[in-house]
Amino acid sequence: MAEPATVSTAAAPIDGAAAADSPAIHTVDLSKRFGKTVALAGLSMTVPRGEIFGFLGPNGAGKTTSVKLLLGLLRPTSGEAWLLGERIGDLGTRRRIGYLPELFRYQAWLDAREVLALHCELAPLPRSTWKEEIKAALNTVGLSDRADDRVSTYSKGMQQRLGLAAALLGKPELVFLDEPTSALDPVGRHDVREIIRGLSARGTAVFLNSHLLSEVEQVCDRVAVVDHGRVIASGTMDELLSGTAVRVRVSGLDEAARARLEPFGPLDDEGEHLTFTKLDVERVPELVSTIVGLGGRVYEVQPRHQTLEDRFLQLLHEDES
């Protein structure tokens, strides 16, 4: 098994009395194996209340497994975790949690209002509040005018909006959003970012699982990058994106020549454009002369602050090596 990684220092397990002040999420060495495959290797992290926490990673890194473990849909192989001060699997805690699954699907033979009423009933919310809750949720996700249409007539994007509406019911203290914009157009993605900010503003912690890095970069207070079931980096955006990246437009470099650029750090090779995802600006002249020395022609050099994508690729590159 890989070495456990820590997102932030774990506090002692939380007793019931301290539950009200407890973090939204707290895990200690949470691990999951499927047979011989390690899906999650020793996840330890604490997500405070009201924080928007981004959980990043490539496909198959263990992001959805983590969410399912926290929600009690999977059983951990080892380790412990608490949500809102209670151990995972506690039924009462689930009243205070919202969840939009990556694989979102709702009863095609119900209309949106009925689906949300079903979730109000299962939550369970007092019946007197259903009408207002449903109205507010539909309004927030922009489905008010289609509320009485059967889900079977919805596009995938509309179904994802409906799932988001279900996750918002009852003003949860913690919301898990697993790839919440995978089916949405740019307008929808903007709307979701606004919804997430609104949740945080009212004190709801948001656990955002995503591989859409620009989305995470725009809304998250803190992120953790997971790969092969391990957290390979974590921190605030400022902590993570302290370096610079350099994007170069070149021609005339074959594979062998590109391989000789390795001393300049992790490289995102997009053909004509090469992005050195972490490179000090002071080394740009050296880089240009090296490229020219290898027979390449430089058309454009663009130093910039590292984006989350640069950092993400750099981290994955370092993890692989």
Partner 1 sequence: MPPVLVFARLTVQEASRRRLLLALLILTLLVVGFSAWGFNKITTVTRSDGTPLPPEQVTLITSQLLIVVTFMYSGVLALSAAVVAGPLISSEVESGLLLSMLARPVRRSEVVIGKWLGLAVLVTLYAAGSAFLELTAVNLATGYLPPHPIQLVAYVAAEGLALLSLGLVLSTRLSGITGGVIALVAWLMAWIAGVVGDIGTGLQNPALQNVGTVSHLVLPTDGLWRGAIYAMEPDVILTALRAAGTAGRANPFSAVDPPPAAFLAWVVVWFGLMLALSIWSFRTREI
Provide the CA 246 distance to its chain's centre, in angstroms.
26
**CA dihedral of residues 95, 172, 16, 71 (deg, nearest 10):** 60
Min CB(299)–partner 1 separation in Å? 47
Per-residue contact string for residues 122-161; x = within reach of partner 1 by CB under 8 A: xxx-------------------------------------
Least distance from C-beta 99 to partner 1, angstroms?
A: 4
Q: Which of 35, 36, 37, 91 binds partner 1 (CB under 8 A)?
A: 91
Report residue 125: phi and psi, to 5°.
-105, 150
**Hey, what are 278's tokens?**
């972490």
Q: Which string of x and - marks every residue 94-123 that binds partner 1 (by CB under 8 A)?
A: xx-x-xxxxxxxxx-xx-------xx-xxx
> Min. distance of Cβ 97 from partner 1 in angstroms?
7
Specify the DSSP class assigned to residue 150: B
Question: Would you count residue 194 as binding partner 1 (CB under 8 A)?
Answer: no
Q: Answer yes or no whether residue 35 interacts with partner 1 by CB under 8 A.
A: no
Cα–Cα distances in Å, from 248 out to 77, 110, 138, 273? 46, 53, 46, 6
Q: Is 273 exposed, middle or buried (0-12, 13-18, 19+ CB in 10 A)?
A: middle
Provide the token pair at 219.
């809304």
Tell me the closest approach of the beta carbon of residue 293 to partner 1, in angstroms. 54
Q: Strand, coil or helix: what is 242?
A: coil
Least separation in angstroms between residue 304's CB and partner 1 is 39
88 binds partner 1, rule: CB under 8 A:
no
Q: Which residues contact partner 1 by CB under 8 A?
A: 68, 71-75, 91-92, 94-95, 97, 99-107, 109-110, 118-119, 121-124, 163, 166-167, 176
